[in-house]
Chain A
Amino acid sequence: MNQMNHRIALDLDPLRKLSAWRPAEYAFWLLTVAAYFLFPKSLALMSQIAITALFALSLDLILGYAGIVSLGHAAFFGLGAYAAGLLSKYGWGDPLLGLAAGGLVAATVGFVTSFLVLRGTDLTRLMVTLGVSMMLYEAANKLTDFTGGVDGLQGVEMQPLLGMFGFDLYSRTAYWYSLVVLFLMFWLARRLAHSPFGLSLRGIKQNVARMPAIGAPVHGRLVAIYTVGAAYAGVAGALLTQTTQFVSLDVMAFSRSAELLLILVLGGSGCLYGALIGTVVFMAAHHFLADINPQYWQFWLGAALVLIVLFARDGIMGLLRKLPVPGGKQA
């Protein structure tokens, strides 16, 4: 940051301590590896969970850290999904290339639209993000030659990952692939969140008016994080396309954006693990409750949302933090 020319003796130790990996975090990631061996029959579901977790992570970067509200985050997910799908449909079926393309397309659109989104207040932002995502949804819906419209994009053929691991029927490759991508992206996000850049975002969220006074370019920072968030969502979308080899129109639907907000609020926003844990709980609940009755599921989803907002504003992570466990999380 800019203050380097007047070097003040800053005590960075507390910050360093916060950014160190804690035992609970190692345990969490070991569990994801163990899950492969524990539930070999639900690998397809678990790779979906990993993908959704990455998507939730992308919203957490935007909303939890920078405080930019969005009702249309599924737009970037959808862009990534279609980018990867179309790329492989027309012959470039390499998975990693698809990921990069998905992220890049979403980042580009995110960068461009960030200038629209960052104007105005929360309410305007909600409306503009919603409007942008509805426009993209309509575009995908109407460009049937290109996207397949409501029938979805078919004919996505993936080449083996790194030329070695083909995508199998049991989703073994899909799970490892999604998990590794999730972990790498998470690691990167974690670095980002604890970097000066991440700290300045929190500052912006807490007090927009004061940040310029200490020399932080607010607008530039917000544009940057919005672009990064969009790229993350694009990669998640591309992953979904590659592991399911299909793109349906609902990757961009409003309900996906709304569900994502719920996931993040359920887990607790503003600390990356909230996104991950929220996704696991949400997807597992969805899986079991929707089996019983889809309508039933939607009702309880709504009820959960109402209760969380009223009583547990910090989500699961907030509840965990209140537990007096010695190895537990602090802020």
Chain B
Amino acid sequence: MTVLFDGIASGMLLFLISVGLSVTLGLMNFVNLAHGAFAMLGGYTCALLLSRAGLPFLLAVPLAAATAAAAGVVLERTLYRRLYAASHLDQVLFSIGLMFMSISTAHYFFGARQQPVVLPEFLRGQIQLPGLDIGIYRLFLIAVGLCLAFGLQWLVSRTRFGAQLRAAVDNPRIARGLGIDVDRVFTLTFALGSALAGLGGALGIEMLGLDPGFPVKYIVYFLIVVAVGGSGNIKGSLIASLMLGVFDVAGKYYLPQVGAFVIYAVMVVMLILRPQGLFGRSAAK
């Protein structure tokens, strides 16, 4: 049971980070491998605010998300925008380049060591039930994840902004013709995706650690979530992350010698069987 719970918690964390990628990759159709870099930015901001400025945890986390969002806006306005029409390969190369730059920048300023994070008192400790140990922080992660999942689902499918976004993605020219400011919608969406990455990065330090190698180490996981969940699909990302988290933790717990092999195998099999992802929109154009 504890394994299952830990799996769900780590899946939720994956969801927190990768839902941002699901937004940029899925909704905006941009293969952003530098997504982990935004998460790392959020992580470092949070760690610095906690250790240097002494801010409370619950304030530092939103600020981290805001920083990542601001960086997202700046980069989107200056660089990403030029590549919306480019091929996926170009986008991949471009974002790998950004990722490399972010890694060495982080290395330059913070060194190679892990950044420590001290959680506030009320998020530490465990609740013990018969046969199940619940870490409070993990419970907190699950709660945040669920709130975000419902919030985003509502945002994309029920609000005016969501409708504008979907219109802008499906057919930018006609969306422009209808008076939607497509550029602005894209900038906002990209900021949203980056903010989610920053948020996930900040919340994830406790479980994933934080060092300059972060963007490369976890990008594969984020991509798996998006690829398996079907891109641009929040429910799909949620379910895929939970599956991935449970498989990963269970695999490491019961079959340590196989290690990460399991999840790669799961991903490849999933992609073969359902190239559109679990809940993919089947070519909505």
Contacts and interface: CB of A to CB of B under 8 A. Distances in A.
Nearest to B257: A142
Contact of A254 (B101, B216, B268): B216
Interface string B253-265: 0000111110011
B210 to A, nearest CB: 17
A298 B223 CA distance: 23
A309 B91 CA distance: 8
Q: Would you call the interface of chain A mostly helix, strand, loop, or mixed?
A: helix
B82 interface: yes
Interface stretch (B38-46, B92-100, B143-151, B201-209): B92-100
Interface residues of B, number: 42
A128 B268 contact: yes
Contacts of A305: 93-94, 96-97, 100
Determine which residue in B83, B104, B220, B265 has the highest number of CB atoms from chain A within 10 A of its CB, and name it: B104
Q: Assign chain A's interface to a size class.
A: 35 or more
Contacts of B31: 123, 126
A97 to B, nearest CB: 30
A184 interface: no
Contacts of B265: 135
Given A69-B88, A124-B227, A304 B97 contact: yes
Given A122-B87, A134-B220, A138-B261, A310 B100 contact: no
Contact of B93 (A261, A298, A299): A261
Contacts of B97: 262, 301-306, 309
A100 interface: no
B93 A135 contact: no
Given A131-B264, A135-B268, A295-B108, A306 B259 contact: no
B1 interface: no
A269 to B, nearest CB: 9
Contacts of A302: 96-104
B173 interface: no
B261 A298 contact: no
A120 interface: yes
Interface in B238-269: 257-261, 264-265, 267-268
B98 A142 contact: no
Contacts of A262: 93, 96-97
Contacts of B260: 134, 138
B74 to A, nearest CB: 14
B59 to A, nearest CB: 32
A102 to B, nearest CB: 23
Q: Would you call the interface of chain B mostly helix, strand, loop, or mixed?
A: helix
A66 B188 CA distance: 37
A119 B274 CA distance: 10
B104 A310 contact: no
Contacts of A127: 223-224, 227, 267, 271
A223 B24 CA distance: 32
Nearest to A116: B272
Interface string A150-179: 000000000000000000000000000000
A262 B94 CA distance: 10
A313 B272 contact: no
B157 interface: no
Given A131-B267, A304-B97, A309-B97, A298 B275 contact: no
Interface in A61-81: 63, 69, 71
A258 B82 CA distance: 22
Contact of B79 (A116, A298, A306): A306
B271 A306 contact: no
Nearest to B101: A302
B51 interface: no
Contacts of A265: 93
Contact of B82 (A139, A254, A255, A310): A310
A309 B83 contact: yes
Interface in B100-142: 100-105, 107-108
A126 B261 contact: no
Interface string B160-177: 000000000000000000
A171 to B, nearest CB: 29
A121 interface: yes
27 contacts: A69-B89, A116-B268, A120-B275, A127-B223, A128-B271, A130-B220, A131-B271, A134-B220, A135-B265, A138-B259, A138-B261, A255-B216, A295-B107, A298-B103, A298-B104, A299-B100, A299-B101, A299-B105, A299-B108, A302-B98, A302-B99, A302-B104, A305-B93, A309-B93, A309-B94, A309-B97, A310-B83
Given A131-B224, A141-B259, A142-B257, 5 more contacts: A124-B271, A134-B260, A135-B268, A298-B107, A309-B94
Interface of A: 63, 69, 71, 116, 119-124, 126-128, 130-132, 134-135, 138-139, 141-142, 254-255, 258, 261-262, 265, 295-296, 298-299, 301-306, 308-310, 313
